[in-house]
A and B are shown apart, each in its own frame.
Chain A
Amino acid sequence: MKRFTSFVAALLLGVVIAHSAAAADAQSSEKSTSAGVKVPAHQRFVLPNGLAIVLVPKKDVPMIAFSGFVRGGSLADPADKPGVASLVAGLLDRGAGKRSAFEFADALEGVGGTFAATAGAESIGVNGQFLARDRALMIELLADALLRPKLDAQEFESYRAREIEFIKSAKDSDPSQIVGTYGRAALFGTHPYGRPQGGSERSLAAISLADVKAYHGQNFGPNNATLVFAGDLDARWMRQALTAAFGNWAKVSLPPRQLAAAPRVTGRRVWLIDSPGAVQTYFWLGNVGVDRRYSGRPALDLVNTLYGGRFTSILNTELRIKSGLSYGASSRFTRGSTPGEFAIRSFTQTDNTVKALDLALETLGQLKHGSLAPEMLESSRSYVLGQFPLQLETAAHWAATLSDLEFFGLGKDYIEDYGPALLKVDLAETAAVTADAFPRADDLVMVLIGDAAKIREGVAKYGQVTEFKLSDTDFAPATK
C-alpha cells in the first residue's frame, strides 16, 4: 500500500501490500474543509433530562449511522487503574436490557447492524450503522447498551482476560500499533493523556467489576452524553422514538473535572523498549502541541501537511523517498480539550536506527529554522482543500463530525469557515505557527521499540535513556 492509512487498519483489512503508508492518517476528520463545504441541514434538540440529540437527514444508501459520546474516558479512570473506561465500553453490548451477550450480538448482527464503543482520552465514543428499516431496533439496542448494560460478572471476567491477551498479541504481531501508547505515557506522565486508553496488562488485572459499575453509575447519564444520527431518516419519527427511549434516562451528578494543560518538555529523554530479535526499530518522537481551539489551526494544518502529513512531506521524502530507510514517516498533532501531542512516527531496520533518528531530527531543525517557499504553501493549500470533501462524504462521516463538534462545543463555523480561512493563510502565519507549535529538535521525548542490545549504545547520545522490556506489563517503566 502506498500510503500510511493506519498500518493496522491496512493489516486488518488486508488490502494486501501497497505502495506506501503515509499521509492519509494525518488528515484526521477534524481537518481541512474545502472552501465550499456546508454542514448539511440538521436539527438539534435537548431532552428535559439534558440529553442532546442531533438529526441529520441525508438520503443516499438505505442506512442510518450514529455517532456519539459519554464524557469521561481515560480522564475519568481512577489514576491507578487506567482501562476502567475501556472495559465499560467493551461491556456495554455484552448483555444489556433483556438480552444476554449472545442475544444482543444476535439481534444486532441478525439485521446486519453494527455497534462499537471505544474509550478515548476524554470520552467513551459510540458509533454504528443499521439498515434504515431497522431503525426501531437500532434505538432499542443503543438505549439498552447505554442505559441498561448488565455488566455481568462472568462477561466481565472473560472480557477483561481477553483484553489482556490482546495487548500481548499486539506485542507479538504489530509493534507499530502500540508505540504511541508508550509515547504518550513518556510524554504526559501522570497527566490523563498519558494513561493507556485501553489499560495495560497490569492495570487491567487489577480492575474489579465494582470499578466498572462505579464508572458506569457516575458517568453514564443524559446530561453527560450526546447522540448524532445521520442518513436515511425521518426526523419526526426519530425524535419521537428517541424521546421515548431516552427520556427516562436518569441524570448523573457530575464530579467537577478540570483538566490542566500538560507542560511542554524541554530537553530530550529516551525510552528504549527492548524487543529482543526485532528486525526494525519503531520510533515515536513527541512533545506537547496544541488544543482543539488553537487559533492558528489553518496555518498549522498547512505546515504539518508539508512537514509530515502527506506522501511528499519533508519527513517522508527524507526517510523514505530519498534514502529508502523506511516504508514511511509521518507527523501529526492530536488536539484535545487541552494540548495533545505532536508526534513523528516511523521505523527502520535495526542497523539504521541512529541514521534514521538523526535524519528525523534534522528535518525538524530545518523546519524550525528554515522558511517556507511560497509555492510549497500553495501546494499544501491545494492539497488540504482538495482532499477535504472526501472526509465528509457519507452520513457516517457527518455523524462523526457533528459529534466531534458537539464534544468540543464548536459551531458549524469550525467546518464552514475553515476553507475560506485556509485561503487566507500567508507566510507570516505559517512562520508564526511553526515557531509556536512545533517543538525544537532538542526538546523531544523519544520512544523506541527495538532490539536494545543492538541499539542501546547508539541512542545514548540523544539523552538520558530509560530502558525496559516490551514484555513488561505496563506501558511505562516499573516504579519502585
Chain B
Amino acid sequence: MPKIFRAACLLLLCGAVTAATKPPAAPRVPGADQVKSTTLANGMKVIVWTDRDIPNIALYNWVRVGSRNEVPGITGLAHFFEHMMFNGTSTRAPGEFDRTMEAQGGSNNAFTSDDVTVYQDWIPRSALDLVFDLEGDRLANLSFDPQVIESERGVVYSERRLRTEDSNEGFLYEQLQATAFVAHPYQNPTIGWPADIQGWKLEDLQKFYKTHYAPNNCTLILVGDIGAEEGFALAKKYLEPIPRQEPPPPVRTTEPEQMGEKRVYVERPASTPLLMYAYKSPAANDPLGPAINLLMTVMTEGNSSRLHRLLVEDKKIAIQVSGGFQEGFDPMLSYLSLTLPEGANPADVEKVLDTALDEVVSKGVTDAELARAKNQFAATFWKQLATINGKANLLGQFDVFEGDYRKLFDAPAQYEKVTREDVLKAAALVFQKKRRTVGVLTSPVASAASDDIASDDTASDKGGATP
C-alpha cells in the first residue's frame, strides 16, 4: 500500500492544536522566529530553520512534480526519474553522488508522491559544501547512461513487485485509485504500470528533466546546525547559477463530477479479505481541510476511534481500520481501509460501515470526540517538531501545499478553531455515496460462480475461503 497511508502522513504533518476541553491556548512554536527565507534570482525559494541541538543538517529539496504530471505511456516516470537523480551527471559517474556523500558522513533518500518529489540529505555540518555541490550538480548536469537506465528499470520493477504485486493491500489500492479518477492523472499509480516501467525511454527522461527540474519549480529547506545567512550564501554559490526555465505547463485536466458509486473487485489468493472506500475530497488548501482531518481522526485514529470501536471491538467484523484525507494540489481522496478476518463477507461489513457513516453525516461528532482528535493532532505536531527531519518536512508541506511555510505556525490555532459544525459540514461533503469508489479484494470464487463476481452473494460467500 504505498500511497494509501500518505494521507496519514500528511495528517501528521498538518496536525495541530492543543486541548479543546482543557483550555490552554495553542502554544507558540518555539524557534519560529528563527526561520528565514529568500528567493534566488533563478526563482528557487530557500527556507532555513536554525536549530543547533545536534551537529547535523537536514536538506530537503521539494520539486513540484509527481505522478500527477504524467500521461499514458510514461506513468511512473516521476518516480523513476527520482531514482535516476542518483545515477550520474556530466561531471560525476553513476554512484559517485552516494559514494562521496557517505564518505563525508552524510546519508540521503528521496520519495515521490502524486504531487511532489522530495530529495532528502542528512549530513554532519562538515559536509555542507559537498552536499550543495552535489545537489547543484544534479540539478544542472544530470546525464543518463543507457546501461544504468536498464539496470534501474529492474530496481523499480522489483520495488513494484514488493509493494504492489506481492501485496494484496498495495494491489487493491492501486485499482481503487485508478478507478476513482476517470480523467485526472491522479489515476496514475506513482510506481507506474508494468508496461510503462518496461517501456519508458531515454528521451522521456530527458524531456522530463527539462520540463520539471527547473530551479523555479523547487523549494529548498535547510534545518539544523546552519545559520540563515550561511544557508543563503551556499545556495547563491551553488544553486543560483542554474538558469531559470519556462515553468512547467499546469495540469490541465480537472476531474468531472462523479455522479454515482463505482466499484472495483479484485480476485487474488487472500486469507484476509480487504474492503476500501475512496471518497472524492477537496484539495489540500481547502479551508475545510482541518475539519476533514479531524473528522478522519475521530473515525479511524486509535483504539477509541469510532470505526475501530464499532467494527473491530464490538462487531468483530474487521481486524483493522485505517483512513485519512489525502491532500493534493488538486481535489483528491479520503479513504477508509479495512482488513477483514478470514471468512468475512465484505457485503455485510459494508452495511455496518455505511450505517456508521450515515450517522456521522446526520449527527456529526461529539464534543469529546472533537477534543480527542484535536489533542491527537497536537501531540503528533509536537513530535514532528522534535526533529530536524520533522521540521524540514513540515516547512516543505506547508510551503508547497499551502503556499506559505508560515502557515505552519498558525496550524495550532487553525485546528483549535474547528467546531462541531465544521466537522458536520466536512462529513456531509466527504461521505457522499455517489462520490465514492468501493474496492473489494477476496480469494477467487470457486468455479461455477466465478463469472459473476460482481454479485454480492457469490463474491462474498466464498470471499474469505482459504485456498
Contacts and interface: CB of A to CB of B under 8 A. Distances in A.
Interface of A: 1-3, 7, 11-21, 23-24, 34, 36, 60-63, 101-102, 105-106, 108-114, 129-131, 133, 158, 161-162, 165-166, 168-169, 171-176, 276-280, 310-312, 317, 320-327, 347-349, 375, 378-379, 382-383, 385-387, 389-390, 392-396, 471
B45 interface: no
Interface in B105-121: 105-114
Contacts of B156: 327
A72 B321 CA distance: 31
B170 A311 contact: no
A428 to B, nearest CB: 22
Interface stretch (B158-166, B212-220, B421-429, B452-460): B158-166
Nearest to A172: B168
Given A15-B111, A130-B379, A396-B383, 11 more contacts: A11-B167, A21-B159, A62-B27, A105-B304, A108-B304, A158-B313, A162-B319, A165-B342, A317-B95, A382-B103, A393-B387
A279 B166 contact: yes
B158 A325 contact: yes
B50 to A, nearest CB: 15
B227 interface: no
B316 A169 contact: no
B377 interface: yes
Interface in B154-196: 154-159, 161-163, 165-170, 190-191
A436 B387 CA distance: 37
Contacts of B105: 382-383, 385-387
A311 B111 contact: no
Interface stretch (B52-60, B133-141, B275-283): B52-60
A14 B165 contact: no
Nearest to B271: A168
A326 B158 CA distance: 5
A131 B388 contact: no
B151 interface: yes
B229 to A, nearest CB: 23
Given A109-B301, A382-B104, A165 B109 contact: no
Given A172-B271, A378-B103, A389-B56, A105 B316 contact: no
Nearest to A166: B319
A113 B377 CA distance: 10
Contact of A276 (B113, B152, B269): B269
Given A2-B86, A34-B55, A348 B167 contact: no
Contacts of A471: 271, 466-467
A323 B103 CA distance: 23
14 contacts: A11-B1, A14-B6, A24-B109, A34-B55, A106-B368, A112-B378, A131-B379, A131-B382, A133-B24, A172-B168, A324-B152, A386-B127, A390-B388, A396-B383
B89 interface: no
Contacts of B319: 162, 165-166, 169
A395 B375 contact: no
